[in-house]
Chains A and B, each alone.
Chain A
Amino acid sequence: MNYHYPAGTVRALLETDQVTKPTRQALTERLKASSDQPVFFSTEEFSLLQAVCDRLIPQNNQSERIDITGGIDKRLTENKSDGWRYDVMPADGDAYKLGLKGIDESAQLLFQQPFQNISAEQQDFILKAVQTRQAPGDTWQELAADRFFEELLAEAVSTYYSHPLAQEDIGYVGMADVPTWQRIGLNQLEDREPKSIGQGE
């Protein structure tokens, strides 16, 4: 099934007392965060990372773009970890820099151009090859391509779906928990839970 949810739900709930103060603070800060210049990545790396993330999680609404790469740059600048790392991988920051280099290298080898100059279909071809460990290039001898892709995708997805606008897109309003949830069974909705609109196969 294809589900679609109305825009504005989470933003409207944030204005109400159905959300606790710490929840409102966390989500409002994220909603209003500005996109900064990269600190950890070079300008070139950062723009390549943006191009990659645009394929991993396409964003069609240009006026309400969610900044994924800024979040990654911030974490690496602060040297924060999620608590573990695959032993086969280098430190997170090194893995990112090496992996980005590998993506450009694969694009050059296959399409004789940097990743950002090739078509969306060609970009997807490269990314799929990285994900399945079939991308060409010396870099991938040093770096486990599938693990790199998994880690990048997981962080991009986690950053994206933590944003209130992405949560509106999936119809999630779990943050509005002050009134408690009493209608919790199948097909039981509280008034504040949005229904899917225009669904169909």
Chain B
Amino acid sequence: MQTYSTTEIVDAIVIGTGAGGAPLLARLARAGLKVVALEAGKHWNPITDFATDEKEQEKLFWTDERLSAGNDPLPFGSNNSGTGVGGSTLHYTAYTPRAQPDDFQLRTDFGVGEDWPLGFDQIEPYYNEIEQFLGISGPSPYPWGPARKQKYALGPLPVNGAGQLMERGCKELGIKTSPAANAALSAGYYQEGVGHRPACANRGFCQAGCNIGAKASMDVTYIPLAVHFGAEIRSESFVTQLIKDSSGKISEVVYIQNGEEKRQRCRYVFLCAGTVETARLLLLNGLGNSSGQVGRNVMAHPGLQIWGEFDEDVRPYKGIPGAIISEDTHRPANADFAGGYLLQSIGVMPLTYMTQMARGRGLWGEELKQAARAYNHVAGINILGDCLPYAHNYLELSDEKDIRGLPKPRIYFTNGENEKRMTAHANKIMRDIWAAAGAKNVWAFPRNAHVIGTCRMGVNPDTAVVNPDGQSFDIPNLYISDNSTFPSALSVNPALTIMALALRTADRFLEQHK
């Protein structure tokens, strides 16, 4: 790996190596820029470091404590966070549906929420490129959204028991289903600059880290590509300060590595630390917030799960967890809410299921143990739906200090009327599907997933933090590339769109700095 000295002025520092940082890093490196990525977490070796054990794999979560406030406090840690080279892609489920064109214009269509300052046509070429590069497995044709210009790189992954049950229930009700697009390989795959990655082993452990590189986390895709083109990855480097020079530009980034404070000089900074840490870093440094919008507009997808027990052996630990999708509910007829959602079958690892059962059903004693013994017969179905931005949902710095001595972020979240109505709609449909599939002991686990927002992108410096290219309105050499800039939450899982936006930000930057 190419390395740079801290006294050298590098072209760009990329803070964070997840879905927002890694693709951009590779793009800048390919263009010949001297780039250094600062990543708070470790650079894992999945083969030797990753156990097929949820407890052991808790090391992939961001565990600096966050304070969850509001009527629907958001869980973090195992939900919505990640640490290590690859960021939260280390433990994302690999579910990579595209947003649809109307997702980008909620306000135009419904009069609520926000339009994006750029449309589907600007994102689509990047969807194509990423799907091919990562080796996304999915059906062709894909039944929803505009006709695709290119087939998925690979055919869909095999369908597990939960997926079969969702197909069965939906068929009964006349709801169309399809194998989902997943960023895990249904066959071995080779990419220049990355090398060979093997096919998925169907071990169902995506959310606790893939140990063979079949899942397209950033550490086995865009990071090796970035290194191939000369980027340096500096892991276990926690950024604390962005230093401005007299011209108002950021000239230096301060970080802690091995307990030692270090500084790296640079020409440009790309902040890709995710919704919570990106906003926290700006607030801590009092930067980029002339709009007063940093930390505002926190959104989190309604993600209600419906679980049931079936007579059949399901063994929910096998196969890609989100095998089957339906987007028939993308814009449901006669809905009493704006936007829509997708439906997804879900397998589940045992600890995740048991702790959700503890929190969601409140079961304990012999009742809990009996319900736990039905684990091999459970399957789930869940939604992923749009979430509107509200003034009452925001992030602030608290007075409490974390283990690094920095103020803990406090995140307020309360579902609005729109999310409640959408969730009620989905609750009925999913219970109907599970009833039609033969489920018993059905129960609901209310949740919100994927924290989004805090550094909104827009065209007006008074109401947005960055412009449509991801550039700060206040500090010209500061860019943001992650889910914090999403003006609306979209009705799909965010990872693919974060990557697409990252490549677009990199390309726009390179065009302007030829």
Contacts and interface: CB of A to CB of B under 8 A. Distances in A.
Q: Is this pair of chains taken from one and the same complex?
A: yes
Interface residues of B, number: 72
Contacts, number: 192
B351 interface: yes
Nearest to B370: A2
20 contacts: A3-B376, A26-B56, A30-B55, A81-B65, A84-B65, A85-B68, A87-B410, A127-B364, A161-B351, A162-B55, A167-B350, A170-B373, A172-B317, A172-B350, A174-B349, A184-B158, A184-B319, A186-B161, A186-B313, A196-B376
Nearest to B373: A3
A158 B354 contact: yes
Interface in B68-121: 68-69, 73-78, 81
A21 B47 CA distance: 9
A142 B416 CA distance: 29
Judged by DSSP, the binding face of B is loop
Contacts of A30: 55
B205 interface: yes
B149 interface: no
Given A58-B366, A79-B403, A84-B68, 16 more contacts: A19-B52, A20-B51, A26-B56, A58-B369, A80-B63, A81-B65, A83-B64, A84-B67, A84-B74, A87-B68, A154-B355, A170-B350, A177-B205, A181-B202, A184-B159, A187-B312
Interface of A: 1-5, 19-23, 25-27, 30, 55-58, 79-88, 124, 127, 131, 150, 153-154, 156-158, 161-162, 167, 169-172, 174-175, 177, 180-182, 184-189, 193, 196
Interface in B272-298: none
Interface of B: 48-56, 58, 61-69, 73-78, 81, 158-161, 164-165, 201-205, 211, 309-315, 317-319, 349-351, 354-355, 357-359, 362, 364-366, 368-370, 372-377, 403, 410, 440
Judged by DSSP, the binding face of A is loop
Nearest to B161: A186
Contacts of A21: 48
Contacts of A1: 309, 311, 374, 377, 440
Nearest to A158: B355
A84 B66 contact: yes
Contact of B375 (A22, A79, A172): A172
A52 B368 CA distance: 15
Contacts of A150: 358-359, 362
Nearest to A170: B375
A131 B164 contact: no
Contact of A22 (B51, B54, B74, B204): B51
B404 to A, nearest CB: 12
Given A3-B376, A83-B62, A85-B67, A177 B76 contact: no
B51 A23 contact: yes
B159 A22 contact: no
A167 B358 CA distance: 16
B359 A174 contact: no
A22 B49 contact: yes
Contact of A157 (B73, B159, B368, B374): B368
Contact of A174 (B52, B313, B372): B52
Contacts of B52: 19-20, 23, 174-175, 177
**Which 10 pairs between the two chains have the least Cβ-Cβ distance?**
A83-B77, A174-B317, A87-B69, A84-B76, A180-B201, A26-B56, A162-B55, A181-B202, A22-B51, A184-B319
A8 B55 CA distance: 21
Contacts of A86: 68, 73
A83 B61 contact: yes
Name, among A81, A86, A196, the residue most crowded by chain B CB atoms within 10 Å (CB to CB): A81
B77 A186 contact: no
Nearest to B62: A83
A92 to B, nearest CB: 9
B354 A83 contact: no
B127 to A, nearest CB: 28
Contact of A83 (B48, B66, B310, B314): B66
A172 B160 contact: no
A87 B373 CA distance: 33
A27 B55 CA distance: 10
A44 B73 CA distance: 33
